[in-house]
Amino acid sequence: MSTTTDVLIVGGSVAAIRAAETVTRHAPDLGVTIVSDEAHPPYERPPLSKIGLGDDLDLAALTYPSVADLRARGVEFALNTRATALDVAGRRVVTSNGEVEYGAVVITTGCDPIFPEMFRGLPDVFALRRFQDAQALRAAVSDHTKSVAVIGAGFIGGEFAATLVKDGRDVTIVDLAEKPLGRFGDQVAAAYAALHRESGVTLRLGDAVVGVEDSSDGRVLRLAGGDTVPADVILVGIGVRPSTEWLENSGITLNNGVECDAHLRAADRVYAAGDLVRWPNGRFGTSMRVEHWTNAAEQGRVAGTNAANTVSGLPPVECVTVPYFWSDQHGVRIQFSGFLTGAEEIVESKEPGGSLFVYKLGDTVTGVLAFERRAEFVRIRAMLRRETRWDTVQGMLPVGSSLV
């Protein structure tokens, strides 16, 4: 069965919902269809790893409020429908429920969790991406006699470990890297590790998981160094890969994501937004791919605008953003804004209210990371919308801030 729409959005992420909102707001006469392989309309994903185990995981509360309004405006939601191929020349997407012809398409299929082969088919092993994953994981850890191990010291693993500790549970995080969040510098890695240890999380850093075994006391992870870690329930959070398999024969350029231009255009009448997009960000003069919620939301708006403009014969707009993320762990808000090359000098400002890390290349500030220190972070983040000189930030820092 074949259908037709002016703007087709493939995926059920925040980028998808923001693209749809933008089209209906700026081009209300255009028809919009959202194709998603999930059974549920688009919902907030960040809370899946943040909501306390004693609180309800309510899908209705997580569903984007604008879904009802979009439906009222005529947006079609084709749920339980997987996109399987893109025909750029024919302006159509092949799905599990038929073909959809479009005037313009926005790809927002995001990323899939990396799931090592050693865990496939094992019970109580999870990768946290969807609502059903969170439901199953929370059910598994509801048995307080079960040990819990998190593989990967990134934000999803760290957030879920924090929810377990808050519930009075023991949890171990295992990571091959000796320095978690190491790309932000040694001092940030040390502060992040200390936050977890002081909150009661056991960290096994610099060691690899090489196997899963059953013991007399329950299931364990076997580490390369020879030790074992109790692991009746396992959360795998070691990274993601762009969901681009369905695009492999489309002719668009794939390079650890979907290659786009500054307008998020991947091909004629094809745009993309979210975690799978690699594009030249004019703010920093370089190509990047960003796997964070705020970037996906911002790109969804730009891609939605450009898809609608393409159909309407209007010029495109450029996507210029300052990457940003946040994470709440153990009652501490961790935030970052900017873009790092790895060559930056880091100025650390440590106070009883938290730590602030400012990154600079020569006399130019390129990023800021904060453990708490929210007001200062907000001010510096706002400044980073344009090129920011070090001397304008330096005066905001307390006396005694040091280069690390």
Give the CATH number of the domain where residue 190 resides. 3.50.50.60
> Among 49-58, 84-93, 157-166, 270-279, which stretch is predicted with the lowest mean pLDDT?
49-58
**76 strand-pairing partners:** 33
Q: Do 249 and 209 share a structural domain?
A: no
Q: Structure tokens of 379?
A: 């001010």
The answer to whether residue 161 scores a pLDDT higher than 90 is yes
Q: Do 276 and 178 share a structural domain?
A: no
User: Average pLDDT, stretch 296-316?
Assistant: 97
Q: Do 137 and 106 share a structural domain?
A: no
Question: Which one of 312, 341, 373 terminates a domain?
Answer: 312
The answer to whether residue 403 scores a pLDDT higher than 70 is no
Q: What percent of the chain has pLDDT over 70?
A: 98
Distance, in Å, from the CA atom of 240 to the CA atom of 114, rounded to the nearest integer, reads 5
Question: Which one of 219, 236, 253 terminates a domain?
Answer: 236
Q: Do 119 and 91 share a structural domain?
A: no
User: Average pLDDT, stretch 197-203?
Assistant: 96
Q: Do 231 and 260 share a structural domain?
A: no
42, 44, 357 from 65: Cα distances, Å: 10, 10, 35
Q: What is the DSSP letter of 285?
A: T
* pLDDT of res. 53: 76
Number of domains in the chain: 3
Q: Do 144 and 225 share a structural domain?
A: yes
- Give the domain range for residue 149: 115-236
Predicted TM-score (pTM) above 0.95: no
User: Average pLDDT, stretch 219-223?
Assistant: 95
Q: Do 70 and 209 share a structural domain?
A: no
> Between these two residues, 401 and 122, which has the higher pLDDT value?
122
User: Average pLDDT, stretch 176-202?
Assistant: 95
Does residue 257 lie within any of the structural domains?
A: yes
Q: What angle do CA 289, 79, 237 make, to 5 degrees?
A: 40
- The pLDDT tens digits of the residues spanning 47-102 come to 888 887 777 889 999 999 999 999 999 999 999 999 999 999 999 999 999 999 99
* pLDDT of res. 399: 62
Does residue 258 lie within any of the structural domains?
A: yes
Q: Do 245 and 197 share a structural domain?
A: no
- 3-class secondary-structure state, position 286: strand
User: Average pLDDT, stretch 110-123?
Assistant: 93
Q: Do 204 and 346 share a structural domain?
A: no
Name the residue among 309, 305, 316, 333 with its Cα closest to residue 263.
316
Does residue 324 lie within any of the structural domains?
A: no
- 3-class secondary-structure state, position 143: coil
Q: Residue 336: CA atoms inside 13 Å, Cβ hemisphere, count? A: 21
Q: Would you place residue 402 in the very low, low, confident or very high pLDDT band (cuts 50, 70, 90)?
A: low
**Phi, psi (deg, nearest 5) at residue 300:** -60, -40
CA dihedral 309, 17, 294, 130 (to 10 degrees): -140
Provide the CATH number for the domain around residue 342: 3.30.390
